Structure 1
Amino acid sequence: MVPKPTAPTQETCMSDKIYDFIFRVAEVLELPVVILTLLALAVVLVEVGALITELIKRRSRTFSALARAGASARRAVDERRMDEASALLQTVAWSGPVGKAFKVLVGAVDKPGADTRIAKELADFDFGRQARLGRTRLLVRLGPALGLMGTLIPLAPALDGLARGDVDALTENLRLAFSITVLGILIGVIALALSLLRERLYGQDFSDLEYVAAILTDDGSAAASIAPTGTITPSVPPTPSRPVTSSETVSLPPLVPPAPPAAPAPSGTDVSS
């Protein structure tokens, strides 16, 4: 006698429903993962263009120009010409956030508690810098994660097509899986490069802000030591050499040493003989 098949238990039915739900969720996530990967690729390409623009703006960045603008702005602040001081600093603002920070520094330097206000503005600029870097830092992790999800999700239908002998379904799903993997890794690599470059650029901006803040709040010695042309005046001027007039003669050492004096003759000898 052929044994009758046992009826599926309640636990088996429950587990089958759970597995079927997981498979359906994975299938539903396939299209959103592909769309998010393409959006992440578009965002990282836009960030590349923005970085190129930032690098073009910073081509004329020099410390001498920053020193001239800072010293001129300090002189304008001392004479209560705040608008002129802000305009002078805008010439060395290599980005929009730096220009806004310069305006806040000029506006706070002549008010009570200037040091506290300036310290708060520097902290806010640093916070904004970290938030700006957070976008590309997110893509550094999001790109490979989307690539991994895009790799694993199509593998289930690919294996199902292999079991059914459907070579076309197997090929199509494997191509999708490998393509999403490549895109995810590419997004992560580009985002990492953008984060490193921008971290260096924003570090330079923060250093410029600290330098200008120090010039605006010191006793004026830093601005006084910087000439309007951008050259730093020496603390001790060199002693000028006195030119030689035509009436003066310059004594030169003899080229041939003088001959020694002749020895005196003995007293007892006859010179005439």
Structure 2
Amino acid sequence: MVLNIPGGEFLTGSLDVISQSLTIPVLVILLIIVIISIITLGGVIAEYTSRRKVPVGTIRDLIYDINRADSVESLKNVITSAKIPKSQKKALIEIASSSELGVESREALARKLFEFEEEKTMDSLQKTDIITRIGPTLGLMGTLIPMGPGLAALGAGDINTLATSLTVAFNTTIVGIGSGALCYVIGKVRSGWYDRYLSDLDALIDAVLDRMKR
């Protein structure tokens, strides 16, 4: 359809060229998204099999043990022998080893260590969050872009071109929505893990800081 205004044919032609030129980039990005989604799914499965679930009772008992520690060395031994992830032990031992720092400096160190762990979890979630948002969008773009030539082919009676366009449109829709849905589920699962991890770390840091004030 040509606009009945001066330059309308040029405008519609330019938009058609732009939209059709996006076909290959959209298909390539969707393929990359599928590969990333599959790799991420494998990573989540591997993380689940190796992940140590820490019961609430373990954290409670550890807080009591930290409070009972009568020296810095005893405190470090309690943390080292605790059944918690190594990354949490590393942060807690670093705080326990900061006896030469003042109260405010030690709290600043603890806050920085917690923020570092928080940033690591956010980095892990960011990839799936991006795919969750752009996957369906690119799927929609991949659906609409081939429809232009497909409808034009229908008007000209070219059924083969129409069938090819519809196939591309449906495939991109399925890939985009499927990848977005998969990464949404992965993100939710990981978010639950990391929220629990950070909650435990926050409680243990507070316990160590309280013990270090004595």
1:88-108 Cα deviation digits (max 9, x unpaired): 45x5217x5x46544543444
Q: Does 1:130 align with 2:122?
A: yes
Distance in 2 between residues matched to 1:114 and 1:172, nearest whole Å:
65
- 1:51 paired residue among 23, 44, 51: 44
Equivalent residue, structure 1, for 2:189: 197
Q: Which has the higher contact order (CA 8 A, sep 6+)?
A: 2
Taking the TM superposition and a 5 Å limit, the aligned residue runs for 1:154-173 are 154-173=146-165
Is the Cα contact below 8 Å between 1:73 and 1:86 reproduced in 2? no
- 2:169 paired residue among 177, 187, 190: 177
**Which 4+ stretches in 1 moved above 6 angstroms?**
none
Residue 49 of structure 2 aligns with an amino acid whose one-letter code is: I
Equivalent residue, structure 1, for 2:9: 16
Is the Cα contact below 8 Å between 2:136 and 2:177 reproduced in 1? yes
Structure with greater proportional helix content? 2
SS of 2:22's partner is helix
Give the 3 Å change call, closer, same or farther, for CA 60–140 of structure 1 in structure 2: closer
Task: Specify the structure having the higher radius of gyration (Cα).
Answer: 1
Is the Cα contact below 8 Å between 2:52 and 2:84 reproduced in 1? no
The CA deviation at 1:61 is: 2.8
Q: Does 1:93 align with 2:118?
A: no
Give the 3 Å change call, closer, same or farther, for CA 73–19 of structure 1 in structure 2: farther
Range with greater deviation from structure 2 (104-113 or 122-131): 104-113
Please tell me the root mean square deviation across aligned C-alpha atoms, in Å.
2.8
Q: Does 1:25 align with 2:18?
A: yes
Residue 168 of structure 1 aligns with an amino acid whose one-letter code is: N
Which consecutive residues of structure 1, in runs of 5 or more, have no partner in the other structure? 1-10, 221-273
Distance in 1 between residues matched to 2:11 and 2:97, nearest whole Å:
64
Distance in 1 between residues matched to 2:154 and 2:21, nearest whole Å:
21
- 2:106 paired residue among 105, 114, 127: 114
Distance in 1 between residues matched to 2:74 and 2:175, nearest whole Å:
56
- With the length of structure 1 as denominator, give the TM-score of the two structures: 0.65
Equivalent residue, structure 2, for 1:152: 144
- With the length of structure 2 as denominator, give the TM-score of the two structures: 0.81
Residue 121 of structure 1 aligns with an amino acid whose one-letter code is: L
Range with greater deviation from structure 2 (150-159 or 42-51): 42-51
Distance in 2 between residues matched to 1:76 and 1:173, nearest whole Å:
74
Distance in 2 between residues matched to 1:41 and 1:107, nearest whole Å:
45
Residue 146 of structure 1 aligns with an amino acid whose one-letter code is: L
SS of 1:92's partner is coil
Aligned pairs, number: 205
1:122-174 Cα deviation digits (max 9, x unpaired): 23332332333222111111110011000000001111211221111110110
1:56-97 Cα deviation digits (max 9, x unpaired): 222443345445666379849622785x566445x5217x5x
SS of 2:101's partner is coil
Q: Does 1:213 align with 2:205?
A: yes
Which consecutive residues of structure 2, in runs of 5 or more, have no partner in the other structure? none
